[in-house]
């Protein structure tokens, strides 16, 4: 069996990040703000983390990707890139929720054990999920479901830290009632958190093949069905 | 040189493997028509969502049957023109595959794929030729001097011809995509008193305009309402005759203007029987030759992309592994292949 060397790609927002976690437990990552240019940066960033980690492509055992919710095209950039790598290197994929990545990254940055992660979904809505620390794994886990919520109907749970662009949208819409010290509306998901969540998922056997790709858009109504014209 | 080609510019997922030296081509094609039918047209976001689900199983299957992923010498994909999100799926899979394999990658112009599709037949046209590209997204006449040496002689100023077929079919109450259904309905009659205009034929030049025909069809329907089945069939017939006449007149004009003896018809509307018959009659009269791609290569497909990309890659062309998709991309900017 291959030693565990995981490459992780996150492109669900205006940020693009890549990380690698080696079998020795070393983590290397690259992060850039590259709105609408993710595909131009990805290959370079993937090469960079491999060089830093001293790994060859053939040493990789898994390819992890942020599987949404987020910008539709962005989410598909990570997913389809992961598919290409999976087929080329014959390695399994690992799909991790973008909200879980955001929450885990928030825990790394702010040491917050309870995080309400929210991403701006436009049109007055946000993708939202509540995450809590599991002391055994040291990772934040989803409490309940990830949902699409209207900004003015967002219920803020007590004792939760608020992270992500969803709260920026709330603030701009004038419906965020929370003290500044429990909000980080600028926080973006980061592949370093993705790769750690992926390691845990792999140990639980949660891997996919390229033809089993999973994307969780949450927003699934993207067009109106039309009536057939008649005369 | 053996290349894998990916096409995902609109609502067809096409995957093919082409071996340049032997000319052997294998392809898989998935059409999303069912997925878009209830919306009455292609929904770009749904098209993208479907590509990302359908492409990988087709690639895996095709590779398993054809020597595996390590037998590839390069990856080519449709870089444009087309729907941004849909193109992105094929581009990302292709680039990532090339990255993983350390193999070259090249973005292909979708319309060049169509132009060269007749080369996949036994009976190939020689250069130079005039190409009539007719599909749901495009209508153009192109002077093809050599691979990569293209000059657009004329194009549609509004609706593409396939689009006009689909829209008129929709007015007639035919199910999406409608074009082929309209042609089927038209074939049930052989004459009508209805006379539709032949847009822009009395003006010099090789441009087209088809949106007026659709409006003319609508006005005719209003005049005849309530419509009988016979009325519908005659409208379909008169519409198709007007389109086919117009295309034939412009093709004849393009052949005269260029002095070429060969006409190549490509794109989905190239499957239309009435058009094929009319252009063959014209060619017999003018003592020119007309070439049609095999029906499977008329619609969007991976084979034409693998073929065009394979030719270019065999000639040494490569992309850096950082390029982006080009939803708008002119044929005339392509590099000539020597």
Q: From B52, which residue of chain A is nearest by alpha-carbon distance?
A: A80
Which domain range does residue B208 map to?
A: 126-292
Same domain assignment for residues B149 and B286: yes
Give the CA dihedral A25, A68, A95, A34, nearest 10 degrees.
-50
Same domain assignment for residues B165 and B236: yes
* In contact, A82 and A157? CB cutoff 8 Å: no
> Among partner residues A76, A90, A230, which is closest to B89 by beta-carbon distance?
A76
pLDDT above 80: residue B338: no
Q: Report the candidate in B76, B14, B59, B324 with the shortest Cα–Cα distance to residue A83.
A: B59
Same domain assignment for residues B256 and B319: no
Mean pLDDT value of segment B209-214: 94
The owner of tokens 């008193």 is B193
> Among partner residues A41, A77, A223, which is closest to B45 by beta-carbon distance?
A223
Question: How far off is chain B from A229, nearest CA to CA, in Å?
Answer: 6
| pLDDT of res. B22 | 95
pLDDT in tens, B253-272: 999 999 999 999 999 999 99
Whether residue A231 and residue B173 make contact (CB cut-off 8 A), yes or no, is: yes
pLDDT above 70: residue B225: yes
> Among partner residues B93, B171, B222, which is closest to A229 by beta-carbon distance?
B171
Indicate which CATH number applies to the domain containing B58.
Answer: 3.30.420.40
Percent of chain B with pLDDT over 90: 91
Burial of B165 (0-12, 13-18, 19+ CB in 10 A): buried
Spell A88-120 as b/e; 16+ CB within 10 A means b: bbebbbbbbbbbbbbbbbbbeeeebebbbbbbb
> Among partner residues A57, A76, A210, which is closest to B88 by beta-carbon distance?
A76
Mean pLDDT value of segment A58-75: 97
Question: How far off is chain A from B116, nearest CA to CA, in Å?
Answer: 27
Question: How far off is chain B from A16, nearest CA to CA, in Å?
Answer: 14
CA-to-CA dists, residue B55 to A48, B25, B298, B326, angstroms: 28, 18, 20, 20
Q: How many domains does chain B have?
A: 2
Whether residue B46 and residue A226 make contact (CB cut-off 8 A), yes or no, is: no
From chain B, the residues in CB contact with A225 under 8 A are 38-39
Instruction: Indicate whether B121 belongs to any domain.
Output: no
pLDDT above 70: residue A230: no
Q: In angstroms, rounded to a whole number, what is the distance separating the alpha carbons of residues B102 and B96?
A: 10
Same domain assignment for residues B243 and B96: no
| pLDDT of res. B146 | 96
Q: Pull the structure tokens for residue B170.
A: 């929709």
Phi-psi region of B53 (alpha: psi -120 to 50; beta: other; left: phi over 0): alpha
CA-to-CA dists, residue B274 to B190, B194, B240, B271, B278, angstroms: 11, 18, 8, 9, 6
Whether residue B324 and residue A231 make contact (CB cut-off 8 A), yes or no, is: no
Whether residue B96 and residue A85 make contact (CB cut-off 8 A), yes or no, is: yes
Q: From B221, which residue of chain A is nearest by alpha-carbon distance?
A: A231
From chain B, the residues in CB contact with A55 under 8 A are none
* Residue A117 main-chain phi, psi, to 5 deg: -95, 130
From chain A, the residues in CB contact with B40 under 8 A are 226, 228
Same domain assignment for residues B21 and B103: yes
Confidence of residue B176 (pLDDT cuts 50, 70, 90): confident
Q: From A223, which residue of chain B is nearest by alpha-carbon distance?
A: B43
Mean pLDDT value of segment A86-111: 98
> Among partner residues A57, A84, A213, which is closest to B53 by beta-carbon distance?
A213
Instruction: Indicate whether B323 belongs to any domain.
Output: yes
CATH 3.30.420.40 residue window(s) in chain A: 6-97+189-212, 99-184
Instruction: Indicate whether B19 belongs to any domain.
Output: yes
Classify strands B25-31 and B129-134 as parallel, antiparallel or unpaired. Answer: unpaired
Whether residue A229 and residue B91 make contact (CB cut-off 8 A), yes or no, is: no
From chain A, the residues in CB contact with B89 under 8 A are 76, 80
Whether residue A39 and residue B43 make contact (CB cut-off 8 A), yes or no, is: no
Average pLDDT in chain A: 95
Q: Is A133 on the interface with B (CB under 8 A)?
A: no
Same domain assignment for residues B259 and B315: no
From chain A, the residues in CB contact with B91 under 8 A are 39
Instruction: For domain A99-184, give its CATH number from 1.10.10.10, 3.30.420.40, 1.10.10.60, 3.40.50.1820.
Output: 3.30.420.40
Instruction: Indicate whether B273 belongs to any domain.
Output: yes
Which string of DSSP letters, residue by residue, matches A93-150?
A: EEEE-HHHHHHHHHHHHH--SEEEEEEE-STTEEEEEEEEEETTTTEEEEEEEEEEEE
Question: How far off is chain A from B84, nearest CA to CA, in Å?
Answer: 9
pLDDT in tens, A138-176: 999 999 999 999 999 999 999 999 999 999 999 999 988
Instruction: Indicate whether B338 belongs to any domain.
Output: no
From chain A, the residues in CB contact with B46 under 8 A are 222-223
Confidence of residue B321 (pLDDT cuts 50, 70, 90): low
CA-to-CA dists, residue B299 to B124, B140, B191, angstroms: 18, 16, 29
Q: How many CB pairs under 8 A join A and B?
A: 129
Q: Is A225 on the interface with B (CB under 8 A)?
A: yes
Instruction: Indicate whether B136 belongs to any domain.
Output: yes
Whether residue B95 and residue A43 make contact (CB cut-off 8 A), yes or no, is: yes
pLDDT in tens, B77-116: 999 999 999 999 999 999 999 999 999 999 999 999 999 9
pLDDT above 70: residue B34: yes
* In contact, A191 and A8? CB cutoff 8 Å: yes
From chain A, the residues in CB contact with B324 under 8 A are 37, 39-40
CA-to-CA dists, residue A69 to A23, A189, B49, B211, angstroms: 29, 11, 13, 40
For chain A, positions 92-111, list CB contacts with chain B under 8 A. none
| pLDDT of res. A224 | 82
Average pLDDT in chain B: 95
Instruction: Confirm whether the ipTM is greater than 0.90.
Output: yes
pLDDT above 80: residue B53: yes
Whether residue B60 and residue A210 make contact (CB cut-off 8 A), yes or no, is: yes
Helix (H, G, I), strand (E, B) or coil at B30: strand
pLDDT above 70: residue B157: yes
pLDDT above 60: residue A229: no
* In contact, A17 and A10? CB cutoff 8 Å: yes
Instruction: For domain A6-97+189-212, give its CATH number from 3.40.1350.10, 3.40.30.10, 3.40.50.880, 3.30.420.40.
Output: 3.30.420.40
């Amino acid at each position: 069996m291959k030693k565990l060397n995981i490459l992780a790609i996150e492109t669900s927002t205006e940020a693009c990040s890549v990380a690698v976690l080696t079998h020795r437990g070393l983590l290397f990552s690259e992060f850039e703000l590259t709105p609408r240019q993710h595909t131009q940066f990805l290959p370079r960033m993937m090469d960079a983390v491999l060089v830093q980690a001293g790994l060859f492509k053939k040493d990789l055992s898994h390819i992890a990707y942020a599987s949404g919710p987020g910008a539709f095209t962005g989410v598909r950039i990570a997913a389809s890139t992961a598919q290409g790598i999976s087929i080329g290197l014959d390695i399994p994929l690992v799909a991790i929720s973008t909200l879980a990545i955001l929450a885990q990254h928030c825990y790394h940055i702010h040491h917050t054990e309870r995080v309400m992660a929210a991403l701006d979904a436009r049109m007055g809505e946000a993708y939202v999920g509540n995450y809590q620390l599991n002391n055994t794994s040291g990772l934040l886990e989803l409490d309940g479901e990830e949902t699409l919520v209207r900004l003015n109907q967002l219920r803020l749970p007590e004792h939760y830290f608020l992270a992500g662009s969803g709260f920026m949208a709330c603030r701009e819409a004038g419906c965020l009632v929370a003290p500044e010290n429990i909000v980080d509306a600028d926080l973006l998901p980061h592949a370093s958190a993705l790769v750690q969540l992926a390691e845990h998922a792999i140990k639980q056997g949660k891997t996919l093949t390229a033809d089993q790709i999973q994307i969780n858009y949450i927003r699934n109504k993207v067009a109106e069905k039309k009536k057939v014209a008649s005369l | 040189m053996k290349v894998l080609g990916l096409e995902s510019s609109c609502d067809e997922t096409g995957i093919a493997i082409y071996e340049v030296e032997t000319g052997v081509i294998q392809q898989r094609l998935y059409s999303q028509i069912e997925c878009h039918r209830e919306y009455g047209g292609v929904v770009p976001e749904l098209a993208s969502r479907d590509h990302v689900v359908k492409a990988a199983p087709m690639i895996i299957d095709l590779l398993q049957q054809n020597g595996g992923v390590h037998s590839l010498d390069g990856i080519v994909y449709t870089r444009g023109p087309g729907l941004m999100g849909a193109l992105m799926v094929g581009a990302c899979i292709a680039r990532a595959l090339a990255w993983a394999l350390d193999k070259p990658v090249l973005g292909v112009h979708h319309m060049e794929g169509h132009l060269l599709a007749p080369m996949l037949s036994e009976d190939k046209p020689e250069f130079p030729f005039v190409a009539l590209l007719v599909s749901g997204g495009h209508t153009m006449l192109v002077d093809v001097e050599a691979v990569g040496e293209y000059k657009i002689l004329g194009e549609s100023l509004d609706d593409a011809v396939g689009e006009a077929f689909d829209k008129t079919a929709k007015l007639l109450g035919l199910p999406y995509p409608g074009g082929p259904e309209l042609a089927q309905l038209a074939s049930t009659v052989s004459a009508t008193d209805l006379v539709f205009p032949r847009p822009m034929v009395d003006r010099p030049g090789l441009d087209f305009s088809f949106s007026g025909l659709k409006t003319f069809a609508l006005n005719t329907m209003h005049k005849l309402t309530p419509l009988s089945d016979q009325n519908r069939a005659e409208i379909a017939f008169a519409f198709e005759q007007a389109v086919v006449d117009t295309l034939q007149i412009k093709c004849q004009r393009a052949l005269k203007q260029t002095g070429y003896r060969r006409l190549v018809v490509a794109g989905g509307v190239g499957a239309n029987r009435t058009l094929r018959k009319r252009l063959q009659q014209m060619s017999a009269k003018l003592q020119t030759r007309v070439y049609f791609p095999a029906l499977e290569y008329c619609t969007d497909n991976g084979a034409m992309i693998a073929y065009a990309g394979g030719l270019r890659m065999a000639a040494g062309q490569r992309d850096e592994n950082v390029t982006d998709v080009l939803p708008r991309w002119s044929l005339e900017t392509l590099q000539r292949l020597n």
